[in-house]
Amino acid sequence: MKKIAISIGDLNGIGAEIAIRSHNEINKLCEPIYCVDKQMLVQASKLLNLPLPNDMKFQNMNNTFAITPQKVNAKSGAYSFDSFKKALQLVEEKKADAVCTLSIHKEAWSLAGIKYKGHTEYLRKFTGEDAIMVLGCEDLYVALFTEHIALKDVAQKINTESLVEFFTLLYEKMKKEKIGVLGLNPHSGDNGVIGKEEFIIEKAIKDANFKIGKEVFHGALVPDTAFTPNSLKNYNTLIAMYHDQGLAPLKALYFDESINISISRKIVRTSVDHGTAMDIAYQNANPSTKSYLNAIKAAITQVSS
């Protein structure tokens, strides 16, 4: 069985409950290694009044703190970052095959003095290579050309060289034969009337297809119709130019089952595609585990292919 290092996420949120509730099912799919001190999950299980499975395997970090349910603070932020680093280390040392991450809280990372805005950004630093953020499920995947940057900065990031590199890496790792590329502007620029970024996108599509040797990428698609049923008959993978352009419609369609995948050449990392849900943490609200289960399955598939 494949060994999957589990980054525990923010322990003040729902991550611990999802890990505990899902363990018996996850344990049938792979060998999970939880990057968390056992005492922290003992503490979480008592707060939740849930029994802790006795066959969970821990990668202790020799660091504990008092869980404060539903609170955003530096201690939980620092711990979730350390858990992620430990999981990556296990893969680097070939003690695990892939990483699956539970939700972090970006404000908690900031309070802890962590300069990275999320898992994918730190993964780039750790591996020294680019990584692409892809979210979705088997019905629809959305890759983000830009991620956690201000909307006003997106247009200046669009250039042919960066787009071609992005397209070819995505194809290399996902092997999708037909991928739709969204334009940046309303109506995909209306042939330059509203904006000219689509000319750059279209040239990059042409160059990437030539490099690959076949017509994989198509566009630039009009963004406000790309997620309609008729359009999705043609594409189950889309590339969005910025975060909310892709994720707002994706989450409206597939919120409970979507996952997050970091596409890179060195480390396979998958994640749940939901937040820490501080409002329901430790309330025994029985949060959905579907995204977590799908993320585990995707990690296993990626390292088995």
Same domain, 238 and 164: yes
pLDDT per residue over 214-242, tens digit each? 999 999 999 999 999 999 999 999 999 99
Same domain, 119 and 165: no
The half-sphere exposure of 177 on its side-chain side, counting CA atoms within 13 A, is 1
Same domain, 172 and 254: yes
Same domain, 228 and 287: no
Same domain, 252 and 271: no
Nearest-10 Cα torsion for 293, 298, 301, 302: -150
Q: Is the pLDDT of residue 257 over 90?
A: no
Cα separation, 172 vs 169, whole angstroms: 5
Same domain, 126 and 137: no
Tokens 């042919």 belong to 160
Top-confidence residue, 130 or 269: 269
Total structural domains within the chain: 2
Q: Is the pLDDT of residue 87 over 90?
A: yes
Same domain, 13 and 41: yes
Same domain, 27 and 147: no
Q: Is the pLDDT of residue 42 over 80?
A: yes
Same domain, 244 and 153: yes
CATH number of the domain to which 76 belongs: 3.40.718.10
pLDDT per residue over 119-171, tens digit each? 989 999 999 988 899 999 989 999 999 998 999 999 999 999 999 999 999 99
Same domain, 213 and 244: yes
Buried b (16+ CB within 10 A) or exposed e, 217-233: bebbbbbeebbeeeeee
Q: Is the pLDDT of residue 305 over 90?
A: no
Same domain, 160 and 258: yes
**What domain range includes position 95?**
1-131+264-305
Same domain, 197 and 252: yes
